[in-house]
Chain A
Amino acid sequence: MQAEAKRLSPSIVLLLSAALALASVLAFMTLGAKGSWSFILSFRGAKLAGMVLVAYAIAVSTVLFQTISGNRILTPSIIGFDAMYALLQTIAVFFLGAAGAVAVDPRLQFVVETIAMVGFSLLLFRALFSGASRSLHLLMLVGVILGGLFRSLSSFLQRILDPNDFVVLQDRLFASFNTVDANLLGIATVSTVAVTFALWRLSPTFDVLSLGREAAIGLGVDHQRVVTFLLVLIAILVSVSTALVGPVTFFGLLVASLAWQLTPTASHRFVLPVAVCIAITTLVGGQVILERLLSFNTALSIVIEFFGGLVFIFLLVRGSAR
């Protein structure tokens, strides 16, 4: 009974995380602003939009992926989405050369990559579900194996690549929140809004899906159709975030774990927005600390991993004390 008294209400957690997200956005836009506001707003605004999109895409895709897999440690990267992205980039540089790959319109590249990633997830899913066994865990395992295959193929191609091309490729494969590709913002926003609309239509099923396949079917959810559709939407969101900043994996896990832990209910109505707010706070707030306190001396991914590690230790200690 004591535990009940201590629990915050879900709305308060949501409000607090939204306030934090808003505070970091404001800090990012205003701190250390010198000179013309119109320049600052447009320069920082584009960067901010990119980061918010990435935060949203990663938070939502990871939480939903964990819901349909019934596992709180899995992220989309486990079924090879990130490795697939790296392979696509490698193939592009390998066959087009560094100059050719740079010359390709990034929007075209985004569309091709997204289609490839959606096709990959559909193929994986169809192949497994048409067979006798229909286990999500098998899907995960096949994804892990395929991810390994993609990684090996990428590293093989990278080994025989021209060193100059390799430098260009390496630059593309490192996650960087500082160099958000502004050309892609428009198409990434449109994709994200479209995905969000589709997710909105599916949203009543999320909580039911977290009960597991059989309970969901028992309650009348067309499990196979909904899960297939969700995987496609997740693939698009992963494409958005990887296209904008490159592969970031640990971030999704961190944000989703925090959201599940901090939200006193398992209802997606609260967990999803809380996860998005935490993601924005971490990414944008982290960027502020990076730019203003550390004057660009380190990479944001290091900051995120540092705070992520602290929070994980805190959660572990608190969990064992309870």
Chain B
Amino acid sequence: MIEIQEVTKSYDGNAVVDRVSLTLPAGGLTSIIGPNGAGKSTLLSMVSRLMPMDRGKVLVDGLDVSRAAGDVLARRLSIMRQDNHITARLSVRDLVAFGRYPYSKGRLTVVDAEHIDRSIAYLGLEPFANRFLDELSGGQRQRAFIAMVLCQDTDYMLFDEPLNNLDIKHAVETMRLLRRLADDFAKTVVVVLHDINFASAYSDRIVAMQGGRLAFEGTPEDMIVPSRLEAIFGVDCRVHAVGETRLVNYFE
């Protein structure tokens, strides 16, 4: 369970995240949606202790993220950021192997090697395992980073806009993969998404932020309704039920 309590972050007096309190139960896939500048990524950065918070506190399974030892937390919670710029020339396998650092501190064991192989196989990266990251396409590189998170094998996995720069095929594959992480491996997956329809189709829970505050939270059935979406994004839209999924049409 991730408990976010009254978390605040401000720059020069402007609150980017303003007293957000939220509880994310263990298991399932939670999407965080909201317009640009709503504070989604900032919130995720504070939960994953990449950014210090001005006020408030975040507990992951009772561990205070600002105080817990880095490596203890790194075995509970992992994060994949949207901009993954690396100067070092790494092969896919090297990158995925970094996921084992919290466990083995760089001395890979047989168990680590199994985790690495399994993660690479799970993302279908075997043909590229020895290629360098700068020789891969954007989608393949994205998968390599997801494999690293998978290899870190934490109960909580956070993804900051993992669908950025992906075509439809890779976006769908990525979301299916995150869904499988929640279903097959009982991981708690939290994803910041821009596409409401992906959020609607793949989430167990949707959290909406706006202007640094928590706007709404609920199941896709609660959340994907015109009144709420219009309040969040400020766009007129219609919601259609296609099979069990609700799809939002905001083009007309």
Could you tell me if B48 and A218 are in contact, using CB atoms closer than 8 angstroms?
yes
- Given A218-B50, A218-B74, does the pair A211, B98 have CB atoms closer than 8 Å? yes
Could you tell me if A219 and B98 are in contact, using CB atoms closer than 8 angstroms?
yes
Q: Of all chain A residues, which has the CB nearest B87? A: A70
Check: B238 CB closer than 8 A to any chain A CB: no
Check: A310 CB closer than 8 A to any chain B CB: no
Fill in one digit per residue for A177-217: 1 if any B CB lies within 8 Å of its CB, else 0.
00000000000000000000000000010011011111101
Could you tell me if A211 and B49 are in contact, using CB atoms closer than 8 angstroms?
no
Could you tell me if B70 and A265 are in contact, using CB atoms closer than 8 angstroms?
no
Could you tell me if A220 and B101 are in contact, using CB atoms closer than 8 angstroms?
yes
Residue among A218, A221, A222, A267 with max Cβ neighbours from chain B (10 Å): A218
Partner of B75, one of A210, A217, A220: A220
Check: A132 CB closer than 8 A to any chain B CB: yes
Q: Classify chain A's interface size.
A: 20 to 34
Residues of A within 8 A of B75 (CB): 220
Residue among B48, B88, B102 with max Cβ neighbours from chain A (10 Å): B88
Q: Which of A31-89 contact B (CB under 8 A)?
A: 70-72
Residues of A within 8 A of B217 (CB): none
Q: Of all chain A residues, which has the CB nearest B75? A: A220
Could you tell me if A219 and B152 are in contact, using CB atoms closer than 8 angstroms?
yes
- Given A220-B73, A265-B94, does the pair A214, B50 have CB atoms closer than 8 Å? yes
Bound together, the chains give a CA A265 to CA B98 distance in angstroms of 14
Could you tell me if B73 and A210 are in contact, using CB atoms closer than 8 angstroms?
no
Q: Kindly provide the distance from the CB of B129 to the nearest chain A CB, expressed in whole angstroms.
A: 11
Q: Of all chain B residues, which has the CB nearest A211? A: B86
Check: A105 CB closer than 8 A to any chain B CB: no
Could you tell me if B74 and A219 are in contact, using CB atoms closer than 8 angstroms?
yes
Q: Kindly provide the distance from the CB of A244 to the nearest chain B CB, expressed in whole angstroms.
A: 30
- Given A208-B101, A211-B86, does the pair A220, B94 have CB atoms closer than 8 Å? no
Q: Classify chain B's interface size.
A: 20 to 34
Q: Which of B78-92 contact A (CB under 8 A)?
A: 78-79, 81, 84-90
Q: Of all chain B residues, which has the CB nearest A72? A: B87
Check: B169 CB closer than 8 A to any chain A CB: no
- Given A210-B86, A218-B78, does the pair A4, B70 have CB atoms closer than 8 Å? no
- Given A132-B11, A212-B86, does the pair A219, B101 have CB atoms closer than 8 Å? yes
Check: B249 CB closer than 8 A to any chain A CB: no
Residue among A72, A210, A217, A267 with max Cβ neighbours from chain B (10 Å): A217
Residues of B within 8 A of A204 (CB): 101, 105-107
Residues of B within 8 A of A267 (CB): 94
Could you tell me if A217 and B50 are in contact, using CB atoms closer than 8 angstroms?
yes
Could you tell me if A220 and B11 are in contact, using CB atoms closer than 8 angstroms?
no
Bound together, the chains give a CA A4 to CA B135 distance in angstroms of 12
Residues of B within 8 A of A260 (CB): 89
Check: B227 CB closer than 8 A to any chain A CB: no
Residue among A70, A266, A267 with max Cβ neighbours from chain B (10 Å): A266
Bound together, the chains give a CA A212 to CA B148 distance in angstroms of 15
Check: B71 CB closer than 8 A to any chain A CB: yes
Bound together, the chains give a CA A265 to CA B132 distance in angstroms of 10
Residues of B within 8 A of A211 (CB): 86, 88, 98
Q: Of all chain B residues, which has the CB nearest A225? A: B70
Could you tell me if B101 and A266 are in contact, using CB atoms closer than 8 angstroms?
no
Q: Which of A267-302 contact B (CB under 8 A)?
A: 267
Residues of A within 8 A of B109 (CB): none
Could you tell me if B50 and A266 are in contact, using CB atoms closer than 8 angstroms?
no
- Given A204-B105, A207-B98, does the pair A220, B88 have CB atoms closer than 8 Å? no
5 contacting pairs across A/B (C-beta < 8 A):
A211-B86, A214-B79, A215-B81, A217-B49, A260-B89
Extra inter-chain contacts (19) besides given A217-B49, A217-B70, A219-B74, CB under 8 Å? A70-B87, A132-B11, A204-B105, A204-B106, A207-B88, A207-B98, A208-B98, A211-B86, A212-B86, A213-B50, A215-B84, A215-B86, A217-B48, A219-B99, A219-B102, A220-B70, A220-B75, A221-B71, A267-B94
Which 8 A-B pairs have CB atoms at the shortest separation, nearest pair first?
A220-B74, A220-B71, A266-B88, A204-B106, A220-B70, A210-B88, A220-B102, A204-B105
Q: Chain B: residues with CB nearer than 8 A to chain A?
A: 11, 48-50, 69-75, 78-79, 81, 84-90, 94, 98-99, 101-102, 105-107, 130, 152
